[in-house]
Structure 1
Amino acid sequence: MRTIEWTPEGVVLLDQRKLPRREEYHLCRTYQEVAEAIRGMIIRGAPAIGVAAAMGIALGVRQSPAASLDTLKAEFRGICDTLAATRPTGVNLFWAIGRMRLLFDDLVERRADLSAIRARLVEEAQKIKEEDIAANRALGDYGVALVPAGKTVMTICNAGALATAGYGTALGVIRSAIREGKNVDVLALETRPFLQGARLTAWELQRDHIPTTLITDNMAGHFLHSGRIGCVVVGADRIAANGDVANKIGTYTVAVLAKENGVPFYVAAPLSTVDLNIPSGDAIPIEERPAAEVIEIQGVPIAPAGIAVSNPAFDVTPNSYVSAIITERGVARPPYTESLRELKQR
């Protein structure tokens, strides 16, 4: 599957709102359309959003009518600000924007001509995509040793190829484990309220012929207590310097239940998800999503009109519940303030 693709016409995204019923692609012809696609969940997953933001910047600069460096600099700031304002929690978005900014500033300082700047930004965005796929494959391979053979792996939300440029983080670990003959199956939580587990993870794993059972979120404790689960593997949207992990709402609950039942809880994420500037999860901004996601399913009301709704998209799992963090440069273990910094500096 193609989650995101750069084309001469614009940025092409697999529309994840339509899955699993229809596989449709959405063409973004402007950076504003890329921003709206991120905000509207046409594309989601922290690594995938980072790639989309980079491509949105490249698209905006390529289409800019600016005839001078000074004009392009002003427009570039506006492009970056528009994309940065889409979703606040996942740090890959800001990491990718920061990387594109550094390149742009370097090219401007060297007085590169406008055509060279446009070409280099397109090249960098495509490079970010390819690096993400390579990172996912590498972290998947590092995670294989942690997955018990012949057991079930539990996961929540979607941390697969759909959430990245390809292969996946948590699902990348599962794919690598199966490739190495571990003979595992997957227990996927449906992930209310947006149903990423039911709509996306189940669809993605079924396409790969990976044995998968779908359960509701409130069944997690029952199965973790059963002895069937060998480990839990989840993705992440932002990891603080101390190893606290922001991920899809409900992850914290699963982590607590896993620890209570002696099941290892692993986080799989590229190092671009690690934010050493955030000391702990207390400082991670949590996005509040629209109430309609809770009170409606596929546009059908399931709650009384006028009921008050709270819809945080993410929660933060304290580091004490995290057995290890799997990255493309190795596996970090407590104390995370030391191990994560060491991996980032390699």
Structure 2
Amino acid sequence: MRRTIDWADDAVVVIDQTALPGEFRLLRLRTVGELVDAVKRLAVRGAPALGAAGALGVALAARTSEDVEADAELIATARPTAVNLAWGVERALKKLPQGPDAVLEEAKALLTEDEELNKAASEHAAEVVLRACPRRPLRLLTHCNAGRLATVGWGSALGVVWHLHDRGLVEEVLVDETRPLLQGARLTAWELAQENVPHRVQPDGAAAAAMAKGMVDCVLVGADRIAANGDVANKIGTYGLAIAAKHHDIPFVVVAPSSTVDTSLATGAGIAIEERDARELTHYAGTPIAPDGTRVFNPAFDVTPHELVTAVVTERGRYEP
């Protein structure tokens, strides 16, 4: 499957990201309920891919539901932090008066645009990285997964790696394992292996030590929502990574399509942060790893202040708050 998420045979087809890397499995989602469940359990994830899921979900509802707007609300609120989900829903809903076929065509157009926009954003970001980092080849550090699996078919932050690797400019990518669901170890490492990019997985807690040892030239991350002032919401742990990068004078570059910028929020303080199920921390593969009754703080995202960000890059180039 060339795309992470697509439409085929009257269904939304997604790569099940909960199965990787052990199994490459496709899900065919034929109801809004199935799509919402896939979004909530992270079978489909990543801000741009969620935008596509939002639009395709409305296309599905337009064909199967008696109350499309109610179903659209269920989709839009399935995960609160990533702005792209509601954005995709709203974009598709605007075509509803023209009928189900018009909604589907709009959703399909969004899929194509997402690939093009992320290629453009990551190409701009690659030039930002090259200007900021004199060393060649480059040693890059990533957090969570911002590759093909987080988008329709190219990648945001990891898209930068594809551009640089094609030019022979990547020595190695350090991949934060990304607790608690290990999207770095499971998904980013899988993508890098598919493309034969040299890489190593490290514990999240090792990132600052790697910087101190001079192993990192640049940090590359994606974003789930960007406030008007340039504050960035991304996978939990990004904020600490940015602090460490600032301390070690290492460029910290955020790559995302412009649909991720939420100009309705002046600062990141207004971004709703999703808190995930406690079992993601207290259990591993169904086995308890913490005492019964242990209380948990499990936010899915954090907000990195714009002062710690070297550049936010979209398909339009460097974002100016």
State the TM bucket, normalised to the shorter chain.
Answer: over 0.9
- Matches of 1:44 and 1:88, distance apart in 2: 12
2:119 match? 137
The aligned amino acid for 2:91 is R
Kept after mapping to 2: 8 A contact 1:49/1:92? yes
How does the TM-score come out when normalised to structure 1? 0.89
The residue number in structure 2 matching 1:88 is 80
Alignment check: 8 A CA contact 1:151 1:228 kept? no
CA–CA distance in structure 1, aligned partners of residues 9 and 63 of structure 2: 11
Identity %: 45
Distance 1:245 1:290 in 2: 23
Give the partner amino acid of 1:294: L
CA distance in 1, matches of 2:286, 2:251: 37
Q: Does 1:195 align with 2:182?
A: yes
How far has the Cα of 1:198 moved from its partner? 0.6
The C-alpha deviation readout for 1:41-91, integer Å capped at 9, x for no partner, is 110111101101110110110124x6xxxxxxxx12112111012000000
1:103: Cα distance to partner?
2.6
Could you tell me which runs of 5 or more consecutive residues in structure 1 were left unpaired when the two chains were aligned. 67-74, 338-346
**CA separation in 2, counterparts of 1:32 and 1:169?**
28
Match of 2:248 in 1: 261
User: Contact conserved, 2:51 with 2:89, CA < 8 A, in 1?
Assistant: yes
How many Å apart are 1:274 and its aligned residue?
A: 0.3
Does 2:302 correspond to 1:315? Answer: yes
Q: Deviations over 1:218-269 (max 9, x none)?
A: 0011011122211000000000000000000000000000000010000000
Question: What TM-score do you get using the length of structure 2 for normalisation?
Answer: 0.96
Equivalent of residue 276 in structure 1, options 247, 263, 275: 263
Distance 1:2 1:305 in 2: 41
SS class of match (1:229) = coil
Q: Contact (CA 8 Å) 1:155, 1:187: kept in 2 or not?
A: yes
The letter for the 1-side match of 2:52 is V
Corresponding letter in the other structure for 2:147: G
Contact between 2:58 and 2:93, CA under 8 Å: does it hold in 1? no
Indicate the structure (1 or 2) with the bigger Cα radius of gyration.
Answer: 1
Measure how far apart 1:201 and its partner are.
0.4
Look up the match of 1:343.
none
**1:18-167 matched pairs, under 5 angstroms:** 18-64=19-65, 75-104=67-96, 108=97, 112=98, 117-145=99-127, 146-147=129-130, 148=133, 149-167=136-154
**Mean Cα displacement is larger for which, 125-134 or 146-155?**
146-155
Matched residue SS, 1:171: helix
The two structures, once aligned, show a CA RMSD in angstroms of 1.2
Could you tell me which of 201, 207, 211 is aligned with 1:220? 207
From 223, 239, 243, the counterpart of 1:252: 239
- Alpha-carbon distance between aligned partners in 2 of 1:17 and 1:32, rounded to the nearest angstrom: 18
Aligned to 1:342: none
Distance in 2 separating the partners of 1:324 and 1:248: 17
Match of 2:4 in 1: 3
**Counterpart residue number, 1:69:** none
Question: Alignment partner of 1:247: what SS?
Answer: strand
Counterpart of 1:328 in structure 2 is 315
SS at match of 1:305: coil
Runs of 4+ in 1 over 2 A off after TM superposition: 101-104
SS in 1 for 2:219: strand
CA positional deviation for 1:181 = 2.7
How far off its partner does 1:151 sit?
A: 2.1
Tell whether the 8 Å contact from 1:3 to 1:164 is kept in structure 2 after alignment.
yes
